[in-house]
Structure 1
Amino acid sequence: MVNANSFEDRLNRIMKACGASSDAQLAKILEIKSPSVAAAKRRQQIPSGWIEKIAKSYGVCSDWLFFGEGPMKRGEAGNHLQEQVQEAVADASLSASGELEELRQECRELRQDNRELVKENRELMKDKLELTKENGDLRVKLAEIKARAAPDQGMHNEAHRKAI
């Protein structure tokens, strides 16, 4: 795993920010003696004053100098945030449009299912009406059969009583 916060990485960012290509140039820019740069290298520690001076003199973000995070220049910080916000909005928009299309498709399918159920319901209602009419017709026939059978029933019952 690469550590972007190592001494070498920080020193490289400082040199890049101020345009120094040697320890002597860096010492001149920081207005210090060359042995001070060599001493910092031996200790593997960058004095915080260096970061502050480079940040102020060159308009560099201290977070970038310390951690290698964010934009290098302070003026770019707003642009960087704006780009991040635009990317987030674009991602959210794509996600929302995908979800919206899924919901639209589901709605179309539900409407089709509803149409099919309405059609099936109408057929069942027609069948019910036909069965109701048929049931009424059968009741009339049953009543007629009972009416015809009633006189015979009465005679059969009378003959049966006489026999007893």
Structure 2
Amino acid sequence: MRSKKSQAVLARLKQITGTKTDASLSTALQISPQTLSSWKGRDSTPYSLCVDIARTRGISLDWLLLGEGPMLRQPHVNAPANAAETATTQESTILSLWRLLDEDDRCAIQSALEEKRRLRDLETQLSEMAATLASLGHSNKT
């Protein structure tokens, strides 16, 4: 991709990957810092890289390349719903959003998720105990 907006594309790539520096972006993209520096010097970001990132992370190419429209790709209404593909897209979307959060927000969300899981486990245990008590009550009456 060749345009004067390559710096903006690199800034959006940093946003997607949750990175702040060129060094951390090159690590996230699994390229050398020299490669990233070369892209900046040529004012060029590989289109194929942008397409791959957009596809795997559920990001809109319009947003990534042009800064237009929503960041996340909208699902196709007419496309058949494949459960595994939908789950993968959903996971990619969640991961993309996760990477945009700062560390405090990530910790807060993780704590809330852990608490939700703990409560679900307790509810399951309570249901099992209630069933056991009910069966004991029936056996004592007979």
TM-score norm. by structure 1 comes to 0.40
Larger gyration radius, structure 1 or structure 2: 1
Structure 2 length-normalised TM: 0.46
